[in-house]
Chain A
């Protein structure tokens, strides 16, 4: 899939589009103009920086404040990030979503371009995403009880969202083949309020 397009006779790549959007404000078209509406599409191709002055950037941490489209993020190692969202930013929070779904207190991983003013213009933001190796300890209609290392964890089954993959097979909404004692990988969205996880996908092992 290509994420470039012709614009006024000039080839426009996603990173150039993004940084232009971040500098110029919100007077931009949607990410669909670049052919990518979700975070996966946004990174399907290499994204060279515009030039050496605009290097790629990554940020991790908890959101401590939000001011319009800027996220103030406290990194886990004491650093601070200001992450600028634009109409071209792909946002994931259990599913592909919009900036309105982001809340103070959420954790995130963000990828984008480092701007001259120290902010990060985000290509993609994954909010509360976790990907944990677990053992299934209990099964209920609306949740799985899991152990992650020495910790107990609740994985919430979200109707119309949670899928499963058995032994590397295709994704299915059928969770009836989960078994107690099974090892699994759970990709989902962490809930800061109680530490549980909304399950996007559970991959069941042997």
Chain B
């Protein structure tokens, strides 16, 4: 009997010891698929390096990856929250923070951030992506856009490639000069200014909102929770874009079809556009691949823009969309402290410097490195500072789709601008105003 008791006590002791030493496993949900292209592989390698370093530094915490498609991350977080399925660390997008703040499926990170030093905080708060992320997430990089242009074509039409447009009038004037019928068949072969108005979120974010903001308008009113894009500013913005296609004929009619990357990236690389607006920082690599820039991807202090170069869109200050992939903690996480520990490890300057996703560093101190001091990257920094997020409405997706559909009707059917904007705004407000 006594032997049995001793064996029992021994087993209980072993069990308690094993529980005490049990590892905590945190799951990190990302969207990088190693089979889906070199960019995915680069980012996954980076994440694996972060995981390895973190596990070494924190022997009691194990990291497991989860994969969710990039445009489903936020919706999956919401859906799983409702279904009672927990995640720990999860990538998130600021465009959905209106929805997350209503659903409360992401953890408010304020209690953790409060413990940060002033220096660390200031290293992040310089850019608008911080305001769009906090308190639901922490930005990992900066996605911003510029106008990409062909230096050789500038020279060909008698423009100085070092002097780019500084206002909208100059932008139109330059674009007209750059629009060319190279073979003399009466059809335009190279358009002066590429834009995209297809059925996608890019339409509102990169092409309509910046001009609406430039003309001092707003997409959505925070107080009344109503869409306001049919204002005078909205009419001016839509008219400006309409004129680019039909009056000045510097933007192709096919800007309304296809995908954002087809119309902007591929058309620019395919030499159909002399300038393209809304060119993302995530597309610096293809310029290097094409040989149009040298030593700029990855950035080096000797980097040079040869054939292609960029300049910040000449709209007013803070009238450009800038966003980021953020890192958040799921509200059902059973290990929020360990999760935040992982996030803090991930955003160390040395690691973030190597993060390939956005192309542009989110920490101000990293911009002091010589490779980011080149004129090319300095222009990206101006664009990064000159940004703002999308409105924090829980129905942002519907707002974006409404505006894209509205612009398609205006451009494709040449529908009257004020009436069409009003019609779509009323339609949106009848469903979502006040919510």
Bound pair (A, B)? no
Interface residues, chain A, CB within 8 Å of chain B? none
Interface residues, chain B, CB within 8 Å of chain A? none
